[in-house]
Amino acid sequence: MINESTLDALLRDFEAKRPRALARAISLSESGHGAALIRHLYARTGRAMTIGLTGPPGVGKSTLSSALVKKARSLHKSVGVISVDPSSPFSHGALLGDRIRLTEHFTDPDVFIRSMASRGHLGGLSGATADAVALMDAFGLDVVLIETVGVGQSEIEIAELAQTTLVALQPGSGDSIQVIKAGIMEIADIFVVNKADHPMANQLRREIRSMMEMLDFAGWVPELVTTQATTGEGIDALWDAIEKHTAYLNETGEIETRRREAFAHQVRQLAMGKLQKRLEHDLRVESPGGLDPYALADRILSRFGVHGEVEEDISTAAHPRASVKGLM
Amino acid sequence: MINESTLDALLRDFEAKRPRALARAISLSESGHGAALIRHLYARTGRAMTIGLTGPPGVGKSTLSSALVKKARSLHKSVGVISVDPSSPFSHGALLGDRIRLTEHFTDPDVFIRSMASRGHLGGLSGATADAVALMDAFGLDVVLIETVGVGQSEIEIAELAQTTLVALQPGSGDSIQVIKAGIMEIADIFVVNKADHPMANQLRREIRSMMEMLDFAGWVPELVTTQATTGEGIDALWDAIEKHTAYLNETGEIETRRREAFAHQVRQLAMGKLQKRLEHDLRVESPGGLDPYALADRILSRFGVHGEVEEDISTAAHPRASVKGLM
């Protein structure tokens, strides 16, 4: 928790657009003390263009990020970059290498770069990231780019925070199969085949097209863009695709649906985080005493005011943007 | 829900050790109607030797399972096999291929084979699997083998249901790095290097030993066994390692700790499943109406009788069996 006067001072600095205030606000939120800040600043959010970038390790996400930052800056847009790493402590070395590619923007006052980790945030890593996006948006940054390492569940969640999700794939890596298995197909608004000069680039493009034929897309059909991020090749086309998707969201009103879903997702993460804490506490103080798991679960649930069977029609089903033909 | 007379008839058939009653009980539980059954049968659980087998796709888990079943049968033990597949619908073909390796046991009345999927179970896939283990145990099967496909979070949870967890790795696949990243190192009681005739088998053994040096093991230090499941080579040694681990658990009393943890895990899954359903319901009926995510989360939590900040000392931290030296 932070006290009133510290909060007031921080909010004044934030309004004066001091980058250190933004950094401090994100740190506070990351360590679980962001509620008061978000409450004060939430009304100012909803203006930034938010872009998610995900894909397997080694695909060149940071080089792509750097190229996208350069493009946005050439259009005089201020940019926030959030690098998310939900993976193990072993990968720190590799990440450090990644970060270095963004150094060319370190001295630009209109580029704000931030790495995220899950520490004390109630909503976990995606909760901390959601707060960081909201804070950057409220700060007035025009574009917020969320870069995630890997292709696990938390990355999918994080990509859902963005208006436009880019899925980057690498030729010759067998990525396409991994992507299907990880459920990444369904979240892509734009596929990026990076490393255009790779001999397998054409094959990967064909694979992506075949995979797309297996899916039913309601509305937007993902774009497929080929880039060579190290040389900047294809970045203009990628930016055009992002703008085309943004225009689609605005014209169809789907932007509101995405905002509502992202909002519900944040609320869900926060509430579940708190319920989980209470549950762990109850689990420690309750003694099984000959009960079976169902009986003890019922006893604990009664502490939450939840009794009896929850109605069958209350479903927790996710709402994927696309479904697999004939299989789901 | 099932009615009283159906339940009574099923319990009678179950007690008469009719395999169809076990199959029916697992199906009922899988579709979310197992509570009454488990309540009646829970007191009879705790006698089976439970073995978890996990590892990346292609490592030969089903061939290993089949060899372990053969070994257990040669010792006149009855066996239940639970195959868990939390992966995408795309992998059905591959799984079917896997299943075929178990066909040699299909006609053996003392081998009960069952595939699991997450359908209506409140506790998700690991909840359904926990019920199936309890039902097989109560049915009187001597050994229950839980085989999981892949190395994701749900597989780790499922492996925690077993007294002894085998992690199978394949030479020449780069599996060891994936295993570190997936947090699999910490759950292995026994490492199995399958495909002993592979030219990279020795290198994989060295990699596993180096990884083990990075970990602090409290108590049991994982065994490393090399097998060639297709020929049966190394299966006796693997069985010996399993029995050695079982003896260790019994002698140190750690078996009780594992049972308590598995019990708490089941209760947690069931309670969280129900809380999540209620939360999704509340999310649909509550209108955001200008609230920020924290404010709406608070409003929903008050419906659960949860108010204000949960005490800081209530931690949701997991209790890994081993931790990484200097890093965690």
Residues whose CB is less than 8 angstroms from the CB of residue A195 and which lie 6 or more positions away in sequence, other chains included: A59, A60, A170, A171, A201, A228
Walk me through the domains of chain B, giving residue ranges and CATH numbers.
47-252 (3.40.50.300), 260-306 (no CATH)
Contact A275, A304 (CB under 8 A): yes
Residues A238-262 have a mean pLDDT of 94
Which residues from A are below 8 Å from B211, CB to CB?
none
Between helices B254-285 and B235-252, what is the axis angle to 10°? 90
Q: Is the pLDDT of residue A247 over 90?
A: yes
Looking at the partner chain, which of A260, A304, A328 has a beta carbon nearest the beta carbon of B275? A304
Tens digit of each residue's pLDDT (9 = 90 or more) over A196-218: 888 888 888 888 888 888 777 77
CB atoms B296 and A267 under 8 Å: yes
Contact B90, A181 (CB under 8 A): yes
Lowest mean pLDDT, pick from B31-35, B177-181, B213-217, B292-296: B177-181
Maximum Cα interatomic distance, chain A, rounded to a whole number of Å: 68
Q: Is the pLDDT of residue A225 over 90?
A: yes
CB atoms A268 and B279 under 8 Å: yes
B181: nearest CA partner in chain A: A88
Report chain A's mean pLDDT, rounded to a whole number.
Answer: 81
Task: Please give the Cα distance from B218 to B98 (Å, whole number).
Answer: 35
Residue B266, token pair as written in the block: 């089941």
Which residues from B are below 8 Å from A35, CB to CB?
294
ipTM value of the model? Answer: 0.79
A266: nearest CA partner in chain B: B293
Interface of B with A in 258-317 (CB under 8 A): 260, 263-264, 266-268, 270-272, 274-281, 283, 288, 290, 292-297, 300-301, 303-306, 309-311, 314-316
Q: Could you give the strand order of the β-sheet that contains B143-148, starting from the edge strand earlier in sequence?
A: B111-116, B79-84, B143-148, B49-54, B164-169, B190-193, B223-226
Contact A131, A18 (CB under 8 A): no
Residues in chain A, total? 328
Q: Does A35 touch chain B (CB under 8 A)?
A: yes
Task: Please give the Cα distance from B162 to B164 (Å, whole number).
Answer: 5
CB count, 10 Å around CB of B222?
23
Interface of B with A in 188-227 (CB under 8 A): none
B35: nearest CA partner in chain A: A294
Q: In terms of pLDDT, which residue wins out, A315 or B167?
A: B167
Which amino acid, residue A243? E
- Which of B38, B226, B208 has its CA nearest to residue B123? B38
Q: How far apart are the first and last CA of chain A?
A: 45
Which residues from A are below 8 Å from B260, CB to CB?
288
pLDDT for position A175: 62
How far is A225 from chain B, CA to nearest CA, in Å?
A: 25
- Which of A235, A272, A280 has its CA nearest to residue A145? A235
Q: Of B102-116, B124-138, B179-193, B297-311, which one has max mean pLDDT? A: B124-138
With 0-12 / 13-18 / 19 or more C-beta atoms within 10 angstroms meaning exposed / middle / buried, residue A255 is middle
How far is B229 from chain A, CA to nearest CA, in Å?
A: 27
Q: Is the pLDDT of residue B233 over 60?
A: yes
Tens digit of each residue's pLDDT (9 = 90 or more) over A102-132: 666 767 888 998 887 655 676 777 788 899 9
pLDDT for position B126: 77
- Which of A153, A151, A146 has its CA nearest to residue A132? A146
Residue A77, token pair as written in the block: 């847009």
Interface of A with B in 67-126 (CB under 8 A): 87-91
Residue B193, token pair as written in the block: 């290097």
Tens digit of each residue's pLDDT (9 = 90 or more) over B37-72: 999 999 999 999 999 998 877 788 889 999 999 999
Q: State the pTM of this model.
A: 0.70
